[in-house]
Every structure is written in structure tokens, then in C-alpha cells.
Chain A
Amino acid sequence: MIRDLKQIVGDAHVATGDIASRWRVMGVAPTAVVAPATSEQVAQVLAFANERGLAVEPAGAGTYLDSGRATERVDIVLSAVRMSAVAEYEPADLTVSVEAGCSLHGLQSTLLVHRQYLALDPPGSVASSIGAIVSRADAGPLRLAHGTPRDHVLGLELVTGDGRVMNLGGRVVKNVAGYDLVKLVVGARGTLGIITSVNLRLRPRADSDRTFAVYSPDAGPLLDAAAAARELRLPLDALEMLSPTLSERTTTHASWTLLFRVLGSAATTEDLMRRAAALGGSLAAENLTPLAALNAWSTLSAAESDAPLLLRLAARATDLKFVLDTAYSLCERLGLDLRLAAHAGDGIVRVVAALPLPSVDSVAFRAAITESRSTLEARDGSLVVAAAPPELARAVEPWGAPGPSVRVMEDLKRAFDPRRVMAPGRFVV
């Protein structure tokens, strides 16, 4: 197997032994890590794996190998690290074509020159590759106004599990030719094939980017302010609520914090800042300086991506208090510090645990997750175990049951990956 892989990608780009063991997938070391340079090489690796019945785990920088379901088996980790070019960028079209291994940070730097950006700010955005973000459908606070990767991806190149190269979607901002297989691949977590490049829709960078913070000793007044912002239909780009322990790290204020972020012309953001300030009433509040704002958003992003245990609880936007309450009791039950962040306009609360984790046995963990999940699902919500130490992750279903449509998902997986080469068992199918 190693010899065959080296023939495809070159001797220098197949690692085994100690190096491979650093690319563990949920604690399981692969036999080899390969780094192809082109989609043709990816196709050859996958065709080879398909023929031999090997299991392949896709990776970029290797950030997310410990997230998802425990692996059924893993023989090869395929990293897109050598495919990281910004392939085609036409600023006048507000679109870009980028190889999957390119980091979000690298892409944003290129776009900045033309005062454009990709309106996604997923956790860990500095290191994460575009391929990983698209594959995981990761989004951050900007999702309030700008949506998730499904709203930004115009097209992509996918190598299916059996090694067929597919160009799905296109490069134009509107396209209804054929079935929208792009939507299927975005968020499929590598179970259909390997994304080798992605075409993205961009936004012009705003002249002004402002963040306003409101602080409160209790969560209640901030929940009211968030609801009022909704009621007033303030066109915010992000609305984030932080618990005191998390806020201390991001804003240096050890209190409950509500962050309003607005992008736009100077006149627009000035006006919105004023309206946001009115919502805070008599609570302590401040306009963050650009440096403080940058620090707050990037620290929050890093806290989330570095969390050894990350839980995402969600329900309708108007159920935010209920979701927060569910998060409190879950933290209490698991003996976790109350490190919470909420996409307050979307009804999504994250439990962002930090080291050292309290010792929780896997049976208790499973029981607590199951119970909170059913509480949330009864209100049309969900609970996702986005990251957990392997022994805990193995004890739970990260996403909960997808329901009867799972049969359709299984059949779709078969159309792309008939021999279950791609990340077997790592997602719901």
C-alpha cells in the first residue's frame, strides 16, 4: 500500500510511523498520511483505496480529526495541505476559486487587497482550511446576517469516494443547471468524497466595522436587549452573548456581555451603534476600539476552536432563554464552569469548556447529553457534541438521530461512495 501511494504522490509526500501517528482520528492512528498536489492525484489515491477497500479520512491542517463520530476504521489520512492556492480571483465578479487546503486566513488576506472578504467567521478561523469549513458547514457570529457555508459556496470540485472527479455547481452567483449537488456536499463532513477546490461568493468589505458591548451582572437584561433588537429589526451583522467567565477572556469584563457588531458605511454603523446603545438602557456599555473588537472576536473564535469539549445547543431564536437554561443545567450536571457563548439572534448556545475538564465518566456523560437533547428536541431544537475527548465522544451520538430521512442519506452516500471508503461511520451515515 505505501509503495502504491508513493507512486501516486511521490515518496516525500507519504508519511508513516511517528508522523502518521500524530494524525490520529479519534485516537486511532492511520497507516499513512498522504498529501497529493492535484485533484488527479486525489482521484488516483481514492480509486486505489476503493479498489483495496481502504478507509480514507479527509483533512486539511488536521485540526478536526478529533471531532465527529468515532471512526469505524482508518487506513489513510488524506491532507489537502499541498493544495492551497487561490486559483482564480476576479475582484469585479466578487467571486473566487480557491483550493481546499488554503486557510481562511490566507484567503482573507488575499481578498483584503481588493477590499473584499468571505463573510464567514467560523471558530478557529486562522488555521482552518476552506475545505474543512465547507465540509463541516462551520459558521460563526456573522451567520446572523450572512448565513452559513451553504449560502457562500457557488460550486466545488469533488473527488468521489470511488475516484471520479466532479465539477459541481459553477462560478456564477446564480445557477440552476441540473441538481444542486453542491448543497449535498457542503456539510457532508467528507463522507461523499474529497473537496479539492471551492468557488465562493464574496462581499465588499465595509468602510466601517463597529462593535458595541453591553455588560450586566445578570443574563436577564441582556436577553431582553437581544429580544428588543429583534423586535426593532436592527440589521445587525452579529449579536453575541457571553457568560462572565468567557467574557473575561474576550473583553476583560467578568460580567454577562452582549456584543453588537455592524458592518456598513460610516453613517449606517454610527446610526446602528446609537440604536444599540439605547437598548442597553442604564447598563454599563462601551464602543469597543477596533483593537479591542478584533481581540474580542478572535479570542472568542479561538476559545471555541481550542475547547476540549464543545457542545452546541439550539432551538428557535425566541427560545434563547430556554436554551440557556438547558445549557446551565447541563453544565451543572457535568460539573463544568459556565463558559457560554450564544448566537443570540439565532437561538444557538455553545458550551465552551476549558481545561482542566472535570472527570466525567462516559455513562454519566451520555445520560446528560441524551436528556438535554430530548429537552431541546421537544422544542424543535437540537444538541450537537461538536468536540469531546475521544472516550466521551465515543459514548454519544454527536448529532442525535436524523429521523426517517436517514435512509435517503444512506442511498445518497452509496451513489458517491459505493464501497464506504470515505470517513466510514464518522457522520450520521
Chain B
Amino acid sequence: MTVGLGPSNASDVTPLPPDVLALLRGTLGAAGLITDPGALYVYESDGLTAYRTIPRAVLLPRGTAQVAAAIRILARANIPFVPRGAGTGLSGGALALEGAVLLSLARMDRILSLDPVNRTARIEPGVVNARLSAAAEPHGLYYAPDPSSQAACTIGGNVAENAGGPHCLKHGVTSNHVTGLTVVLPDGEVLKLGGSGEARGYDLVGLFVGSEGTFGVATEIDVKLLPIPDAVETMLALFEQMDDAARAVSEIIARGLLPAALEIVDQQAIIAVENSVYAAGLPTDVGAALTIEFDGPRAGLAEEADRAREICMQLGAREVRRARNAEERQKLWHARKKAFGAMGRLAPDILVQDAVVPRSRLPAVLAEVTAIAALHGLKLCNMFHAGDGNLHPTILFDRRDNDEVRRVEVASKAMMRVCVQAGGTITGEHGIGLDKREYMELVFSDAEMHLMCDVRRVFNPRGLANPSKVLPLHVCREWVGPATRRVTG
């Protein structure tokens, strides 16, 4: 599945024109620009390693002014750019296509201000997700969205993808926590969106979050911080059958409980974890493990956990383990949080899919997804945000086997179709990027995609920001919308 998208050898890269290089070097300094072919290999892919291409150059600006200056230089030369955080994305969104340069925000990692009383922070996009929570912790606060890659991924990347995480069941995704942005548009204009006080126009912050770098670059981000809950109750319920675990999730929600997280891993994932350094002492003969976490005021929390435990037992759980302290809690979470990393032991390559279905359809959809993998002779693992109905079917394969690669692609598309037909969608948190452009037609009509083209053109009329992402290529090429026609009344 290595797709030929651009140069795969540094020697094939078309260097930037000397005048552009000189201007960029003048703006960013020698240390702010990477053109050495060997060093560029590092940037050939993001977390979805099936797609690789080497960028022409990597820019490492510091501060909004440098970003704007660099983008203006590129815009004058008609050279596109791709914003990049830590490169942990899973949709090929940070790949430099169409002769683009990478604009790395890695050096913009300052926490500009943190207001513990109003519970807000203003940060640069390169701040690593977990670092913000660490900085807020002494004030009894934390940043809620917690993607599994939170130890590495940046908030800028989270904003681009509208990232989620296990705890968004109760606390919401990135867009629920971002209140203001300073952005640089693809022509170099600096614009402030949102901010304090009540809205004075359209919700441009909400629109910009999740735009995957195709509207421009966020250079300063205002976020809300939440109080660290007084108490946390974490449990792990072990089920003989995946189906029972999925039904337990629906039942917990239906009975009016609102856990902070409801996460499932299947037997394959448990085996992988138990064979790794993160072994949590789980039996490897169970069909599924359901992690349940409640957070909030201490009073009443244990009682809620008891109710959830009862539901699990009624639905046939073999046992429900309850963490008695922070250490045990962490161990219970290993089964979920380290499962993806532990997969690496099982096959040379893994493809993690991302789709969402209504919670009540989980058991049926899981059965269908499993059947699809079996039909195509593929090894499948499941670990997912069950409370949100957010599936991550993970296919194990070997990319040197061309026939297997072909079957992975066919099966992936079939799984997406099943999820959409169940009333769901094709991505809950990884984004469309490059990987899912062609799946957009499963959920959106031409008219809807044309409207998205028009909206993108408002920010990015020349296609210079993260070209060829999010929308199927033919859609925008064919469409000349009302915004472009500039119809007069």
C-alpha cells in the first residue's frame, strides 16, 4: 500500500528556487530551514506509514510573525505548504503533496499564558497535549481531550483534526474546548477568530477546528481547562463474548449512567498486550475487556460504579476488576491505551481504521466488520471508544504481500460502507486527510461537497494550504460555485 504520491527518494526532490530559499533563510534563519536530503526523510510520512513522500523542504518558524512572513514568501512563488505538528496523524494529512513544503510548528511550543482562575490557557500549536495538562496540574486543572498519542501529539495537530480520545464521551472533543484562534491564512494574512465575550458573528473558530490544515495555520490557540475531578473510579469488566461487552455499553448508557470513558478491546488486543511489557495480568481467553471510568465529585461516585458493575455482571461478565489506587488504575488502562503499540508484535504492518456508528448498532456492526475481515482472509483486532460508538478496526498485514494489500483495501472500504449504512460516519477523530478522500462520497452528496469546496475557497482560494486533502480531487476541480462566481444581487 505504499502509494506513489511524489518523490520517494530525496535525490528526486525538486529543490526550492534559490531566490525563495534565500528569502526563507533570511526570515527563519539557517536553523529554521531543513533542505538536507537526508534530514528530509524524517518527514516522509505521518502516523499512517502506508503513504510516503519526501517534502521539498521543512520550515521551522517561531511565532506568528515568522509563520506569516514565510507563508507570504511561498504564496508569492505559488508554492503550497502543509502544516505539521508531531506527525502522529493517522490519515496521511501531513504529507507534502503537489510540491508543497512542510511547515513544522514543532518549535512553537510555548505556553503563552495560563489563567488558573478563569481556567483558560493560550498556547502555541507545537505544545504537546500531555504537557499542557502537566502545566495545569499544579492549579488543579487539566486539558480534557486526550488522544491515545497525547504524550507525543501537539495541540495544533489536535485542532487541525478536531481530535478526540477516550474521555470525550463525557467531556467532548477538541472543538468543545477551543475558544479562540490566531490564524495565518494561505496569503499570509493574520486573523483573530473568536475570543472572549459573546459571539459577534459566525463561529469561525468552530469552522476552523477540524479543517485539517486546508484553511491555513493556527499559530495561537485559546483553550478551556477543566478542574481535575475530585475522584475517579476505574473498572475493567471481562466478557466471554464481544457481543456481551457491546451490549453492556448500550445498557450502561440506557440506564442513565454517564461514565467519563467506556472502552473496549478484543481478545487479539488483550493477547498482544499480555505478551508485551505492559502486561496487566489479564486472562487471554476472554472475548473482550470493557474499561469503565467514572469521574466527578466523590459523593455518589462509588455508587455509580456499583451500578455499572451490576449491569456488567447481569450481562454475563466473568469478572469486574476495580482499581483501588492510581497504580492499579494505570494498569487497567494499559489494556486499552497500550493495545495499539503492542500490535506491532503481531504483524509487520497494521492499518487502524476509524469509523463511528450509533451506540445501539455496535453489536451488529462489530459482527459485520468481523465477517468482512474473515471473508477476505485478514487478521483483525478491535479496540475502540465504545461509549461514543467510535470503532477502530485494526487490520494486521504484510505490505510486501501485494494480494494481501489489495484485500486490506477492499475490506476497509466494505467496513466503511457498513458503518455508514448503520447511520454512522467514516471518521470520528482521525480525519479524512489523504486516506479517506474517496470515502467522502459515502456520506456526502455532490452538493454538500461542493459547498465544502466553496467554504475552503473562502480561506484558501488558490489551494496553497495542504493541497489535495479532505475532498475528493475531482469535486473541487469540476465545481465553480457561487462564491467563486461572485454573483451580484
Binding site for B on A (CB under 8 A): 53, 90-95, 115-116, 137, 147, 150-151, 160, 162, 164-168, 170-184, 186-188, 203-207, 230-231, 233, 235, 264-268, 270-272, 312, 314-318, 348, 376-377, 380-382, 384, 399-406, 408-409, 411-412, 414-416, 418-420, 427-429
**A235, B201: Cβ atoms under 8 Å?**
no
- Taking a contact as CB atoms closer than 8 A, the residue among A92, A95, A175, A270 that contacts B254 in the complex is A92
Within 8 Å of chain A (Cβ to Cβ): is B316?
no
Q: How far is the CB of A373 from chain B (nearest CB, A)?
A: 10
**A172, B210: Cβ atoms under 8 Å?**
no
**B425, A170: Cβ atoms under 8 Å?**
yes
Closest to B141 in A: A233
A162 neighbours in B (Cβ, 8 Å)? 482
Using known A-B contacts A160-B451, A315-B197, determine if residue A176 contacts B427 with beta carbons closer than 8 Å: yes
A231 neighbours in B (Cβ, 8 Å)? 117
A186 to B175, CA, bound (A): 14
Q: How far is the CB of B364 from chain A (nearest CB, A)?
A: 12
Complex interface bits, B150-181 against A, C-beta within 8 A gives 1, otherwise 0:
00000000000110100011001101100000
- Taking a contact as CB atoms closer than 8 A, the residue among A115, A170, A270, A415 that contacts B458 in the complex is A415
Q: How far is the CB of B454 from chain A (nearest CB, A)?
A: 4
Pairs of residues from A and B, 7 with the lowest C-beta to C-beta distance, nearest first: A183-B206, A382-B197, A271-B299, A267-B300, A204-B256, A268-B300, A418-B482
**B456, A403: Cβ atoms under 8 Å?**
no
**A177, B300: Cβ atoms under 8 Å?**
no
**B191, A233: Cβ atoms under 8 Å?**
no
**A399, B201: Cβ atoms under 8 Å?**
yes
Residue among A183, A206, A316, A348 with most chain B CB within 10 A: A183
- Taking a contact as CB atoms closer than 8 A, the residue among A95, A151, A175, A184 that contacts B425 in the complex is A175
Within 8 Å of chain A (Cβ to Cβ): is B278?
no
**A233, B200: Cβ atoms under 8 Å?**
no
Question: Beyond the given A90-B360, A92-B253, A166-B451, could you list 4 further A-B residue pairs with CB under 8 A, ordered by the A residue number?
Answer: A150-B203, A268-B297, A314-B197, A399-B198
Q: How far is the CB of A27 from chain B (nearest CB, A)?
A: 23
A180 to B256, CA, bound (A): 29
A401 to B201, CA, bound (A): 9
Within 8 Å of chain A (Cβ to Cβ): is B367?
no
Using known A-B contacts A176-B210, A178-B444, A265-B304, determine if residue A415 contacts B483 with beta carbons closer than 8 Å: yes
A318 neighbours in B (Cβ, 8 Å)? 117-118
**A170, B443: Cβ atoms under 8 Å?**
yes
A105 to B308, CA, bound (A): 31
B431 neighbours in A (Cβ, 8 Å)? 176
**A174, B164: Cβ atoms under 8 Å?**
yes
**B195, A380: Cβ atoms under 8 Å?**
yes
- Taking a contact as CB atoms closer than 8 A, the residue among A175, A176, A188, A265 that contacts B300 in the complex is A265
**A314, B192: Cβ atoms under 8 Å?**
no
Binds A, one of B51-59, B96-104, B327-335, B383-391: B383-391
- Taking a contact as CB atoms closer than 8 A, the residue among B202, B425, B444, B447 that contacts A409 in the complex is B202
**A402, B200: Cβ atoms under 8 Å?**
yes
Within 8 Å of chain A (Cβ to Cβ): is B37?
no
A162 to B303, CA, bound (A): 54
Within 8 Å of chain A (Cβ to Cβ): is B3?
no
A177 to B420, CA, bound (A): 12
Closest to A147 in B: B176
Q: How far is the CB of B427 from chain A (nearest CB, A)?
A: 5
A175 to B297, CA, bound (A): 29
- 21 A-B pairs within 8 Å (CB atoms) are namely A151-B176, A162-B482, A172-B423, A176-B210, A176-B427, A177-B427, A177-B432, A178-B432, A179-B456, A183-B207, A184-B202, A184-B207, A204-B257, A268-B297, A268-B299, A315-B197, A376-B197, A381-B197, A415-B454, A418-B483, A429-B202
**B423, A414: Cβ atoms under 8 Å?**
no
**A408, B356: Cβ atoms under 8 Å?**
no
**A166, B254: Cβ atoms under 8 Å?**
no
**B201, A409: Cβ atoms under 8 Å?**
yes
Q: How far is the CB of B97 from chain A (nearest CB, A)?
A: 18
**A265, B303: Cβ atoms under 8 Å?**
yes
A183 to B174, CA, bound (A): 13
Closest to A403 in B: B192
**B458, A235: Cβ atoms under 8 Å?**
no
A428 neighbours in B (Cβ, 8 Å)? 200-201
- Taking a contact as CB atoms closer than 8 A, the residue among B176, B200, B250, B443 that contacts A401 in the complex is B200
Closest to A90 in B: B360
Closest to A266 in B: B300
**A177, B297: Cβ atoms under 8 Å?**
no
- Taking a contact as CB atoms closer than 8 A, the residue among A91, A151, A172, A399 that contacts B389 in the complex is A172
194-225 of chain B: CB within 8 A of chain A:
195-207, 209-211
Within 8 Å of chain A (Cβ to Cβ): is B489?
yes
242-291 of chain B: CB within 8 A of chain A:
250, 253-258
Using known A-B contacts A90-B360, A94-B253, determine if residue A416 contacts B451 with beta carbons closer than 8 Å: yes
Complex interface bits, B453-486 against A, C-beta within 8 A gives 1, otherwise 0:
0111111000000000011000000000111011
- Taking a contact as CB atoms closer than 8 A, the residue among A264, A267, A315, A403 that contacts B196 in the complex is A315
Within 8 Å of chain A (Cβ to Cβ): is B193?
yes
Within 8 Å of chain A (Cβ to Cβ): is B359?
yes
A382 to B195, CA, bound (A): 10
Using known A-B contacts A265-B304, A411-B458, determine if residue A180 contacts B191 with beta carbons closer than 8 Å: no
Closest to A208 in B: B300
Within 8 Å of chain A (Cβ to Cβ): is B452?
yes
Closest to B190 in A: A404
A265 to B303, CA, bound (A): 9
Residue among B205, B206, B359, B429 with most chain A CB within 10 A: B206
Using known A-B contacts A184-B206, A316-B196, determine if residue A172 contacts B356 with beta carbons closer than 8 Å: yes
Within 8 Å of chain A (Cβ to Cβ): is B487?
yes
A377 to B198, CA, bound (A): 11
Using known A-B contacts A171-B423, A401-B200, A405-B201, determine if residue A415 contacts B482 with beta carbons closer than 8 Å: yes
Closest to A428 in B: B201
Using known A-B contacts A178-B471, A382-B198, A429-B201, determine if residue A412 contacts B458 with beta carbons closer than 8 Å: yes
B425 neighbours in A (Cβ, 8 Å)? 170, 172, 175, 177
Residue among B193, B256, B427, B489 with most chain A CB within 10 A: B256
A383 to B199, CA, bound (A): 10
B162 neighbours in A (Cβ, 8 Å)? 176, 180
Within 8 Å of chain A (Cβ to Cβ): is B296?
yes
Q: How far is the CB of B395 from chain A (nearest CB, A)?
A: 20
Within 8 Å of chain A (Cβ to Cβ): is B402?
no
**A380, B197: Cβ atoms under 8 Å?**
yes
**B200, A177: Cβ atoms under 8 Å?**
no
Complex interface bits, B137-148 against A, C-beta within 8 A gives 1, otherwise 0:
000100000000
Within 8 Å of chain A (Cβ to Cβ): is B448?
yes
Within 8 Å of chain A (Cβ to Cβ): is B428?
yes
Using known A-B contacts A204-B258, A233-B227, A314-B197, determine if residue A172 contacts B432 with beta carbons closer than 8 Å: no
Within 8 Å of chain A (Cβ to Cβ): is B424?
yes
**A180, B489: Cβ atoms under 8 Å?**
no
Closest to B229 in A: A235
B481 neighbours in A (Cβ, 8 Å)? 415
Closest to B385 in A: A174
- Taking a contact as CB atoms closer than 8 A, the residue among A166, A348, A411 that contacts B448 in the complex is A166
Closest to B457 in A: A415
A168 to B255, CA, bound (A): 30
Residue among B140, B169, B425, B427 with most chain A CB within 10 A: B425
